[in-house]
Structure 1
Amino acid sequence: MKTVYIIHGYNASSNDYWFPWLKQQVEAIGHQCEIIHFDDSQHPEYGLWKHNLAEQIQSLNENVVIIAHSLGCLASLGFLSEALQGSKLFALFLIAGFNRRLPTLPELNQFIDQVSVNDASLRLSFEHRFLFFSNNDPFVPAPFSIQLGHLMNAQMVEVKNAGHFMASDGFSEFPQLWDKLSVLLKSAP
């Protein structure tokens, strides 16, 4: 059985967007799923988010799938760069990910500047790596996500006109993500 961790981003909660729907899909085929809760997502602090991740992710092993959205991608990559220490994980899904300052959200600069990502180590740590991006994301320009995808050597999936993959963009469900994730979970021993 795999354990899927869903990690939300800035100004979001565990009940937002497609997170509860995806949890239901994962559990319906017999796997575990936890949605990480970050304290004060309206005023993110990297140290606090890293602490939240360490408290809520029970184990890091070959049965773990990490699915992160937006700022949650960067927080997860920073946390995993320190926490993995040679451990192997099953899969990584980055949704609207980025690893540099966003011109549209300067209030996140301090958070972004504190995160150190060991991409070389992380590429070796995940058996499967995916990055989803949209051609019309108002917060994370597609080239920023593509750059992170190349850095992580991830399979990149463009979802046209998906905005920032939020409910206001029509994403209370995320079938494109489920298509990729379900194949991995169903084929897993």
Structure 2
Amino acid sequence: MTSRTPHRIVLVHGYGATPQDHWFPWLSRLGTPVDAPALPDPTAPRAEEWISRAAAAIGRTDARTVVVTHSLGGITALQALARLLRDGRAREPLAGFLAVAPFVDPLPAVGDPQLDAFPDRGLGRFLEGFAPEAIRELLGPVTVLRSDDDAIVPAAHSDRTAEALRAETVIVPGAGHFLAEDGVRELPALGARLGTLLGG
């Protein structure tokens, strides 16, 4: 890599979302190119398809690449990076890994029939075989952003993820699950961390 190679952000969205939802369009306005693949069937995610698509989007790991994830996108990206490492396509650490409302454990029911059906039927394959210690050095600096009132991913789940990844934790008060319906269309705490990682 030369110093002239621009930074890039790879965004991996979560369950039920597209790259046009929530705070994701705002991320593109920060001035760094964003590759945000639309993951297939977001309300019925299949692990193999999501992980393969995320691995293709990341494509390489180097000190000019930051991976940003939301919710289910966190474990998806981590599994994608593990696959890239196994395949010999991941050789250098990332500039950073920023996970918003992540989890690496089964989720509790939240009382929404459609949302609760996915953990029962499909989430296990996303979590299967994940070994954080195997990829930790590939991630570069890791930051976990969580809210103090997330009704979908409990704070304890994001905290366990942060512990497993030896991550810095940033708590954003009152942000819920960082959805547009929670009022989150911009995420300054994430922007500040990106500015540090990207030298801005």
TM-score between both structures, scaled by the size of structure 2: 0.86
Q: Which amino acid aligns with 1:36?
A: P
* Counterpart Cα distance in 2 of 1:109 and 1:147: 21
Q: Which amino acid aligns with 1:76?
A: A
Q: How many residues align?
A: 183
Asked whether the 8 Å contact 1:99–1:112 carries over to 2, the reply is: no
Unaligned runs of 5+ in 1: none
Asked whether the 8 Å contact 2:82–2:134 carries over to 1, the reply is: yes
* Counterpart Cα distance in 2 of 1:111 and 1:60: 28
Asked whether the 8 Å contact 2:69–2:77 carries over to 1, the reply is: yes
- 89, 99, 102: which one aligns with 2:94: 89
Unaligned runs of 5+ in 2: 1-5, 110-115
Paired residue secondary structure (1:48): helix
More strand as a share of residues: 1
Q: Which amino acid aligns with 1:101?
A: P
Asked whether the 8 Å contact 1:74–1:112 carries over to 2, the reply is: no
Map 1:90-169 → 2, pairs under 5 A: 90-104=95-109, 105-114=116-125, 115=127, 116-169=129-182
Asked whether the 8 Å contact 2:95–2:197 carries over to 1, the reply is: no
Q: Is 2:16 the counterpart of 1:5? A: no
* Counterpart Cα distance in 1 of 2:59 and 2:82: 16
**More deviation in 173-182 or 105-114?**
105-114
TM-score between both structures, scaled by the size of structure 1: 0.90
Paired residue secondary structure (1:120): helix
Q: Which amino acid aligns with 2:82?
A: S
Offset of residue 185 of structure 1: 0.9
Q: Is 2:188 the counterpart of 1:175? A: yes
Deviations 1:90-145, CA, capped at 9 Å, x for gaps: 10001000011111235224433223322112221122100011111010000010
Identity value in percent: 28
Asked whether the 8 Å contact 1:96–1:131 carries over to 2, the reply is: yes
Offset of residue 34 of structure 1: 1.0
- 6, 15, 22: which one aligns with 1:17: 22
Q: Is 2:62 the counterpart of 1:51? A: no
Paired residue secondary structure (1:89): coil
